[in-house]
Structure 1
Amino acid sequence: MDELVALYAEGDLSGRVTGVAARSAVRAGNLPHAATAVLLRDERDHLYVHRRTDTKDLYPGMHDVFAGGVVLAGEDPSGAAARELSEELGVRNCDLRPCLRYWYADEHASYLAYVYEARYDEHRCGPVVHQPSEVAAGWWLSTADLVTRLADPAWAFVPDGRATLGRYLRQARRSTGGFRA
Structure 2
Amino acid sequence: MTLGILLSVVGVAATTSISIAITALGGVVAMVATGCLSTADAYDAVSWNVIFLLAGVLPLGVALQRTGGAEFLAALVGQVGAVAPPIFVLGLFFVLASLLAAVVTPVATVVVMIPVAVNTAQTLGANPFAFLLGTMFGASAAYSTPIGYQTNLMVYSPGGYKFTDYARVGAPLQLLLAVVATVGITVFWPL
**Smaller-chain TM-score range?**
under 0.3
TM-score for both structures, normalised by structure 2: 0.27
TM-score for both structures, normalised by structure 1: 0.28
Higher normalized contact order (CA 8 Å, seq sep 6+, divided by chain length): 1
More helix per residue: 2
More strand per residue: 1
